[in-house]
Amino acid sequence: MKYEKVKNYYNGEFVESVSTESLDVVSPLDGNLLSQVPMSTVDELNAAVESAKNAFDAWSKTPIKERVQVFFRYRALLERDLDELTKLVSEENGKTYDEAKAEVEKSIELTEFACSMPQLVSGEILEVSKGVECRTEHFPLGVVASIVPFNFPLMVPNWTMPNALVLGNTMIMKPSELVPLSVQKMAELLKEAGLPDGVFNVINGGKEIVEGICAHREIEAVSFVGSTHVAKLVYQQATHNLKRCIALGGAKNHLFVLPDANPSMTATNVTASMSGCAGQRCMAASAMLAIGNVDSIINQICVEAKKVIPGKNLGAVISKAAKERIENYITEAERGGAKILVDGRNAVVEGKENGTYVGATVIDFVTPEMSVAKEEIFGPVISIMRTENLDEALKIENANPYGNAASVFTQSGGAARYIMEHASAGMIGVNIGVPVPREPFSFGGWNESRFGANDITGKSSIEFWTKLKKTTTKWNAEAGVNWMS
């Protein structure tokens, strides 16, 4: 085992779990055992919540301009340890070094945004009638929780932690049991940055801890990122227990490709979108709607897909089970009559035979009722559906229950505008394969890709992590008394 057993973190200390149950943490790159993660008990969750509760009073009363100083230092530490963090993310998740580095860099950007909060949350003031002022102020909620998935071991935790903490909350984080090491490192860096003990806490575990979070009386808000199935459960449980909740779910992102699209730009973008992070991104291209004759672009996508080499510029998928699931999808499509233009099944990387790799896969002549057309595959696979026109393509996209992202590839402003208006997704790209809005814009899908009212990052997250206080004041007697005062 390369690293020692993962510990929980509360009261500013790393604590070995009392649980006798644990899971192996295995690197998808080569199948090597990295560590073990405890399936912590609800008592341990309770201890972490107590720690967060005790820290809340002092932290929430610390002026925001002082709170952000911790995050300026945390940002510097992320930069200092960029190489170490990159290797850790790659090791536990299976993505390539470059992809993992981008994840650390994105975490730095997210922290920079959190550092700008004092400029964004100054509230409002207005004289609403003679001598009478109304002002608004953002107040933290209290103890909040963040439950995160395996596909971005460092970035998704940094979607929530910096904003929630800078805004004065204290937090319990529940990492994915598949990739718990990056969050442990994150806790170490926050401590080194001078974050007061108890403000950030980590409890490792699975379903029992998630259910414990959703039921805990002292937790005010729950953010969740993961599959739609679990997002629905978490949203239902947390709101049933009267908590504020945002729960981001899975995705099936559609790319609309028109005959006038720039062929090389389209081919490289589509391939990068479907195969980047081995297709394990909630923003990955998964279905391509080929409108009219785009054969030459499809040929070029195949050329690009063949340049994506497992173990070189293509990372591993998270587990043996994931590899099997993805390959089954491909086989099922083939049996259903679709044509496999580029086949990534049975990929093996020499010297890493226990790694879990699936090569980039292009499937053509997929029909809308096939499972590869409808379901989230979460692997480096693109399913191409042929359509006659934009409306037919939109009908397919609109019928899908998800709604994270959609992109259009065209040189026509009118066609692009039509998709921007009619695609049923929260994030739209025009000639962009992965249309992630960068800070200060916020991240969040529609439909079954997100439950709850706000987005999870950017300015929209301020409303989620705070409550607004409205104060009306009058100091001068001459202000008088009338129905407005």
Residues near ligand NAD (CB under 6 A) are 147-151, 156, 174, 176-177, 206-207, 210, 225-227, 230, 233, 248-251, 282, 376, 378, 404, 445, 449
**Considering only CA atoms, which of 398, 378, 17, 348 is closest in space to residue 229?**
378
Q: Which residue, chain included where needed, has tokens 């940055």?
A: 193
Q: Which residues pair with 127 in a beta bridge?
A: 133
Please give the Cα distance from 52 to 50 (Å, whole number): 5
Distances (CA, A) of 118 to 69, 113, 307, 453, 456: 11, 10, 46, 23, 18
Specify the DSSP class assigned to residue 279.
G
Report the nearest approach of ligand NAD to the CB of residue 152 (Å): 6
Amino acid at 182: S
Instruction: Judge contact between 95 and 284, C-beta under 8 A.
Output: no
**Choice between 60 and 204, CB closer to ligand NAD:** 204
Report the nearest approach of ligand NAD to the CB of residue 250 (Å): 3
**Choice between 60 and 223, CB closer to ligand NAD:** 223
Which residues, 6+ apart, have CB-to-CB distance to 20 below 8 Å?
none
Report the nearest approach of ligand NAD to the CB of residue 56 (Å): 24
Identify whether 245 is a catalytic site residue. Answer: no
Please give the Cα distance from 372 to 380 (Å, whole number): 12
Peptide bond into 440 cis (omega under 30): yes
Report the nearest approach of ligand NAD to the CB of residue 274 (Å): 14
- Alpha-helical (H) ranges within 338-403 are 371-374, 390-399
**Choice between 405 and 416, CB closer to ligand NAD:** 405
Enter the tokens of residue 11.
């009261």
Amino acid at 340: I
Q: How many CB atoms lie within 10 A of CB 242?
A: 9
Please give the Cα distance from 254 to 264 (Å, whole number): 19
Our CA angle for 39, 42, 47, nearest 5°, is 110
Q: Which residue, chain included where needed, has tokens 């990159």?
A: 86
Active-site residue numbers?
A: 282
